[in-house]
Structure 1
């Protein structure tokens, strides 16, 4: 019987230092490391045009995209859910807990990440503009509220749905975007949760693999 080729995940071959560990292919790599399944990486230059046909695979020409012998997918949350379903892992077996994990997967993407990314955009991409400080201050109350709600929901539990799942992969990598800010430290429960996740050996292997793949040249911005 022919061996099934490893699934392919797309990634970048270079990003600026601030983005290392934040590119969303990390989420997919982490899932594969948790289940011990092999995967292959197809790398692109972040500032370069994508190959012909990539927009049919990933309509927004971002990373990650995913393919195996059965499906082609885009969006990190959908890819994580597919991997969990395909491998029977990273989701609780109990039906109520399983759907709790899926709900938190969507919450990380739709309720928490947008507030964080608004702040991140002002802090990083628009730094130094005369309007930036005011814009940042305007989004901080909602950002803190979102973090508090996650912290309150965790309570004394280690993970969002009772056991480690794709919901935690999503939420912890979303929280990574606040790594150079004081916000997570304001919530001891979140601090411990984030530390617990990023200290997992599978996370460390995934991060090391992503960092090792940033071996391409920086884009030439000269004119």
Structure 2
């Protein structure tokens, strides 16, 4: 059984957004059994930092193998299931390209928008962050060409990563001018496997609230 390490508790705002959702979604789509273990959100323990040098989650354990970074975890799970990664060379190449596009070409700009919105004390920086993200989203929308899924003509690991990146943009209203991407996010996040792991995450952190209150 695969073990996914996540935090033992997070505040309300990030619930439903912690990135252990990505490998959990991959497992749920592939029909692979998985379980969770936890590390404290803070302070970071020496044991946690020994496993993940930035003190982040997720960490995936598969027997004697451990991986970290959500993209690496999802790719590892995809190697175990054709449901997430086609076997033909062309399909695999397209899936890999879209996985790295999601994580390297789209997500950094969405994270920059979030950072500026939450932390930057200079409001003048916010329009530039939004402009950069919007330019990248417009390019993706133009290339989408009516497709139902990101790559290979069907659901794959690329959809797990791209849809999870784009749903943050959607939640902030950044997909309002990109109807194909907005429809894509709505469809992907309505999938039973996504709903299952999303609701599990929220419930798990709510249960942690109850445990803390009982102490």
Please tell me the root mean square deviation across aligned C-alpha atoms, in Å: 1.8
Q: Which runs of 4+ in 1 moved over 6 A?
A: none
**TM-score normalised over the length of structure 2:** 0.90
Q: Does 1:121 align with 2:115?
A: yes
Shift of 1:14: 2.2
Shift of 1:153: 2.3
Show the 5 A alignment for 1:163-182: 163-182=154-173
Does the residue aligned with 1:42 lie in a helix, a strand or coil? strand
Q: Which among 185, 192, 200 is matched to residue 191 of structure 2?
A: 200
Q: Determine the C-alpha separation between the residues in 2 that align with 1:168 and 1:178.
A: 15
Q: Does 1:160 align with 2:150?
A: yes
Aligned to 2:136: 146
Shift of 1:73: 0.4
CA contact (8 A) 1:33 1:202 kept: yes
CA contact (8 A) 1:45 1:216 kept: no
Does the residue aligned with 1:98 lie in a helix, a strand or coil? helix
Unaligned 5+ segments in structure 2 are: none
Q: Determine the C-alpha separation between the residues in 1 that align with 2:91 and 2:138.
A: 22
CA contact (8 A) 1:92 1:163 kept: no
Unaligned 5+ segments in structure 1 are: 1-5
Larger RCO (CA within 8 A; separation ≥ 6):
1
Shift of 1:46: 1.5
Q: Determine the C-alpha separation between the residues in 2 that align with 1:113 and 1:80.
A: 16
Show CA shifts across 1:88-136 (max 9, x none): 330123311211111110111111001000110121234xx3x1x2111
- Aligned in 2, Cα 1:54/1:45: closer, same or farther, shift over 3 Å? closer
Shift of 1:20: 1.6
Q: Does 1:97 align with 2:86?
A: no
Shift of 1:41: 0.5
Q: Does 1:17 align with 2:16?
A: no
Q: Which among 58, 61, 70 is matched to residue 76 of structure 1?
A: 70
Aligned to 1:62: 56
Does the residue aligned with 1:19 lie in a helix, a strand or coil? coil
**TM-score normalised over the length of structure 1:** 0.87
Does the residue aligned with 2:93 lie in a helix, a strand or coil? helix
Aligned to 2:208: 216
Q: Determine the C-alpha separation between the residues in 2 that align with 1:97 and 1:136.
A: 38
